[in-house]
């Protein structure tokens, strides 16, 4: 099934390639927020959600696992019994290959968003000390932009619930290094969600932060 997801940035969102001086929230293409970046954020978000809400989820019949690994060798070890739920759904982040993700995220065609330049002060990542005169500029999307995506998942209610969980947790986690976002989802349930899926879909139907 396919449903629509809207992401609104509450903080300014940095874009472009990572530099020595600063980290960005959305890697890759300039002037774009690709679906693959949202999918990566959903993957991290699901991992966090399982860590933070594991007990609550277990009470609802969801005993979930997340290996939390990115290195392919460690993933192999962590998956000796069976692949964790995060990797089963989003695939493994192995070198260049997506590792059979069951989730597809596509950015909707729309007008390009306006990009602004912010001047920032470089912080040395190792020493955490302000560098002398290390001013640099970063391109950002200003707060309040809405980006729309289509998310495709199977009709399995459990997989749909995990995808909704990853989207809800994005509100409490972050996009990239520091991006604060709100999330809204077109209700995908149409009578085929389980209890958790229905709860999540109801909460995601409206923006969390009122305008």
Region binding Zn ion by CB under 5 A among candidate stretches 32-40, 83-91, 153-161, 165-173: 83-91
Q: Which of 15, 26, 57, 87 binds Zn ion (CB under 5 A)?
A: 87
Q: CA 199, 159, 34 angle in degrees (round to 5)?
A: 95
Find the shortest distance in angstroms from Cβ 153 to Zn ion.
18
Task: Tell me which residues in 13-72 interact with Zn ion (CB under 5 A).
Answer: 67
In angstroms, rounded to a whole number, what is the distance separating the alpha carbons of residues 117 and 150? 29
Q: Which is nearer to Zn ion, 78 or 134 (CB)?
A: 78
Contact between 99 and 92 under an 8 Å Cβ cutoff? The reply is yes
Q: Among residues 118, 117, 110, 87, which one has the least CA distance to residue 35?
A: 110
**Length of the chain, in residues:** 211
Task: Match 């305008």 to its residue by tokens.
Answer: 211
Q: Which is nearer to Zn ion, 67 or 140 (CB)?
A: 67
Question: Can you read off the two tokens belonging to residue 10?
Answer: 């509450």
Find the shortest distance in angstroms from Cβ 72 to Zn ion.
11
Contact between 197 and 63 under an 8 Å Cβ cutoff? The reply is no
Q: Which of 7, 15, 84, 189 binds Zn ion (CB under 5 A)?
A: 84
Q: Which is nearer to Zn ion, 67 or 175 (CB)?
A: 67
Find the shortest distance in angstroms from Cβ 166 to Zn ion.
14
Q: Listing from the earlier edge strand, what are the strands of the sheet with 130-141?
A: 13-15, 130-141, 116-123
Region binding Zn ion by CB under 5 A among candidate stretches 76-84, 117-125, 126-134, 197-205: 76-84
Find the shortest distance in angstroms from Cβ 43 to Zn ion.
10
Write out the residues near Zn ion by the rule CB under 5 A: 67, 84, 87
């Amino acid at each position: 099934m396919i449903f629509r997801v809207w992401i609104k940035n509450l903080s300014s969102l940095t874009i472009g390639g990572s530099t020595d001086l600063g980290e960005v929230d959305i890697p890759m293409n300039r002037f774009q927020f690709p679906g693959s970046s949202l999918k990566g954020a959903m993957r991290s978000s699901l991992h966090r959600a399982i860590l933070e809400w594991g007990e609550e989820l277990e009470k609802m019949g969801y005993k979930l696992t997340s290996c939390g690994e990115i290195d392919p060798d460690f993933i192999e070890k962590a998956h000796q019994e069976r692949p964790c739920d995060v990797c089963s759904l989003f695939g493994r982040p192995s070198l260049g290959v997506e590792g059979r993700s069951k989730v597809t995220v596509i950015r909707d065609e729309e007008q390009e968003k306006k990009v602004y330049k912010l001047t920032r002060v470089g912080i040395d990542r190792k020493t955490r000390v302000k560098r002398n005169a290390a001013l640099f500029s970063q391109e950002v999307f200003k707060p309040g932009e809405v980006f729309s995506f289509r998310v495709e998942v199977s009709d399995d209610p459990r997989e749909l619930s995990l995808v909704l969980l990853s989207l809800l947790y994005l509100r409490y986690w972050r996009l990239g290094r520091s991006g604060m976002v709100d999330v809204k989802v077109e209700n995908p349930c149409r009578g085929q969600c389980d209890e958790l899926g229905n709860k999540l879909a109801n909460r995601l139907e409206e923006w969390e932060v009122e305008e």
